[in-house]
Structure 1
Amino acid sequence: MVSKKNRDVTDAVLSPSGDFRSDWLRSTGATHMAPLPSHTGLSRIIAQRAVAGARESGAEGILVVPIDPGLGDTTASESLLSTEALLDLGSRQEDRSGLLLVADNFRGALLLRPGYALVAGTQEFVRGAVPEGTDQAKTEFQRYARKARSGAGTTALTAVAGEFRPLTKTWKTPQDVPATSHHGHQLELMRQLAAGAVEGPSFARQWLDERRRAMNAGERLGDALTTALDEVFYALEDYSIDPSLRDEDDLTDEELRDRVAHVMTRLDNEERRP
């Protein structure tokens, strides 16, 4: 476990104004940031994101630090990489001004403020904490800020949403998706599999690789396309790339091809509708 004072942790990660320090972001390569809805402080979903990000970054624990200046000389608490352990520890913290969750290797952090949280860290940390991609998270946060009821925190949510705008547009139909994008490559692989032009194992490896690259690049899709690609992802979870390891209840190559072909047919039909 890391033994540090609250003040040591906050000074290393946060600027005097309470934002993430630019030198910390640079020194760790922590160039990826995104806002997240946080209705009730340290919620289960925030704890799950923090644990996933820390684990992906290679950390062994999470420092839990109230950022109240009056608690600066208190020894920082550290949680194991467990959602339940983090929630339990968080429930026992002073939380008057906010809460800072920092991977114990300092490669990523979540800053909890009333109504929202900010996540920052290395590509690995953010990939674990924000698996939907930072652009998608920014889009969802804008919706959250717009729907927020009027109140003392609404202005802050609007300001955060304005500061963290999505970098790319949302592609709503297959025709919108650039052929050179990672999602475009996924769709082309699906067409090839449906036509029998690529084998199941090769399709699975390439498609999953493009899915990961699309998330890292922050590419965003509309609801219909997201649902369609999620169906393919779930189908691949029931498919063994190595035929020698295939169980009786796993999808066969033919069944995988049929499922993907069904998804492409539905997408094509939806695109033709006036």
Structure 2
Amino acid sequence: MTDPEHGASSDLRLVLDADGAFASSWLREKSVAPVPVGEQIDAALARRITAGCRAVGASHILATSLVGDSGATSRLPADADCTGIRPPLLLRTPDSQGAVLFPEAGYALIAGTTAFMAAAVSEGTDTARARFGRYARTLLERHPALASVAASHPPGHRAWSQPGDVAPASAAARQLALLDAFTDGTCDAPDFARGWWEARRASQANGERVQGALGDLLDQVFMILEDYSVDPDLAEPGDLDDAGLRIAVREAWQAFRHGET
């Protein structure tokens, strides 16, 4: 890595505290998700980094070595292939909207704004945290330190598997309310589609987790809406019209409700 970035060391102190962890002041209005990684950055983590940078319009990445007190920083193109880079390392966007801390083999911490995290951790922060918890438990004997990482980043929401479990004020509850309204005819198709997409984005941004048959239902509605256009002028051959959308969604909703009984 070459082409050192001027002033990067002072920026680094804004992102990391004296102990080498993300600074609490920098983390305001940001979220953090631990992800598994081996001895070096692999393809999966590299894709996350690229996606996050693209989402916030970063033209390049600042890569800082955390070996000793060197703080050597290089500038890499945002679409650079980061695979093979070894820890300890901090990668961050120039405006610090997003960062990836890779302190040692076994895990990395991805942190950033809503836009950065939505792309870099598209499964949702809570889902990533829950998966990392399972990963840490699986490797407990070989890598006991991972357990403390998982414990420091627990999911904020428990996973919901039944409509009655869903928190009333959640975005997932809004999705279920829209399903009720649309299938009983009190909500028209365009309003349902717009409201459902908005609620889905909010649910992901909030880190809400839905699993089991309920998760399958929401995924099925997502797929159904992929074949529907709110604007009829933009509809493609074979797309669902308003009536077809209502029929398909009603069938999915009724099948789910029947499975509950």
Query: Residue by residue, what CA displacement relative to the aligned partner does 1:170-204 show, whole Å, maximum 9, x if unpaired?
Result: 11112222343211110121122222322221111
1:42-121 to 2 correspondences below 5 Å: 42-69=41-68, 71-73=70-72, 75-80=73-78, 82=79, 85-87=80-82, 90-91=83-84, 93=85, 95=86, 97-112=87-102, 113-121=104-112
**Contact between 2:60 and 2:75, CA under 8 Å: does it hold in 1?**
no
Task: Give secondary structure in 2 for the equivalent of 1:248.
Answer: coil
Q: Equivalents in 2 of 1:240, 1:173: separation in Å?
A: 29
What residue identity is the alignment partner of 2:18? P
TM-score, normalised with respect to structure 1? 0.84
Task: Give secondary structure in 2 for the equivalent of 1:171.
Answer: coil
Q: CA deviation at 1:246?
A: 0.7
Q: Equivalents in 1 of 2:70, 2:229: separation in Å?
A: 52
Q: Equivalents in 2 of 1:61, 1:258: separation in Å?
A: 48
- For residue 167 of structure 1, the aligned residue among 156, 164, 169 is 156
Q: CA deviation at 1:72?
A: 3.0
- For residue 16 of structure 2, the aligned residue among 9, 14, 27 is 14
Deviates more, 1:208-217 or 1:174-183: 174-183
Deviates more, 1:104-113 or 1:56-65: 56-65
Q: CA deviation at 1:9?
A: 5.5
Task: Determine if the alignment matches structure 1 residue 237 to structure 2 residue 218.
Answer: no
Residue ranges of structure 2 left out of the alignment (5+ in a row): none
Query: Residue by residue, what CA displacement relative to the aligned partner does 1:221-263 show, whole Å, maximum 9, x if unpaired?
Result: 1232222211211222221110111111222223322221222
TM-score, normalised with respect to structure 2? 0.88
What residue identity is the alignment partner of 1:35? P
Q: Equivalents in 2 of 1:186, 1:252: separation in Å?
A: 20
What residue identity is the alignment partner of 1:107? Q
Q: CA deviation at 1:70?
A: 6.6
**Contact between 2:193 and 2:225, CA under 8 Å: does it hold in 1?**
yes
Q: Equivalents in 2 of 1:200, 1:77: separation in Å?
A: 48
What residue identity is the alignment partner of 1:77? R
Task: Give secondary structure in 2 for the equivalent of 1:118.
Answer: strand
After superposition, the Cα gap between the structure-2 partners of 1:10 and 1:114, relative to the gap in structure 1 and judged at 3 Å, is farther
2:200 paired residue number:
211
After superposition, the Cα gap between the structure-2 partners of 1:239 and 1:246, relative to the gap in structure 1 and judged at 3 Å, is same
Task: Determine if the alignment matches structure 1 residue 263 to structure 2 residue 252.
Answer: yes
Q: Equivalents in 2 of 1:226, 1:101: separation in Å?
A: 34
Task: Determine if the alignment matches structure 1 residue 37 to structure 2 residue 36.
Answer: yes
Task: Give secondary structure in 2 for the equivalent of 1:17.
Answer: coil
- Structure with the largest fraction of helix: 1
After superposition, the Cα gap between the structure-2 partners of 1:162 and 1:199, relative to the gap in structure 1 and judged at 3 Å, is same
1:3 paired residue number:
5
What residue identity is the alignment partner of 1:139? A
Q: CA deviation at 1:211?
A: 0.8
The percent of aligned pairs where both chains have the same amino acid is 36
Deviates more, 1:6-15 or 1:40-49: 6-15
Residue ranges of structure 1 left out of the alignment (5+ in a row): none
What residue identity is the alignment partner of 2:95? N
Q: How many residue pairs are counted as aligned between the two chains? A: 258
After superposition, the Cα gap between the structure-2 partners of 1:117 and 1:58, relative to the gap in structure 1 and judged at 3 Å, is same
After superposition, the Cα gap between the structure-2 partners of 1:203 and 1:158, relative to the gap in structure 1 and judged at 3 Å, is same
Task: Determine if the alignment matches structure 1 residue 123 to structure 2 residue 114.
Answer: yes
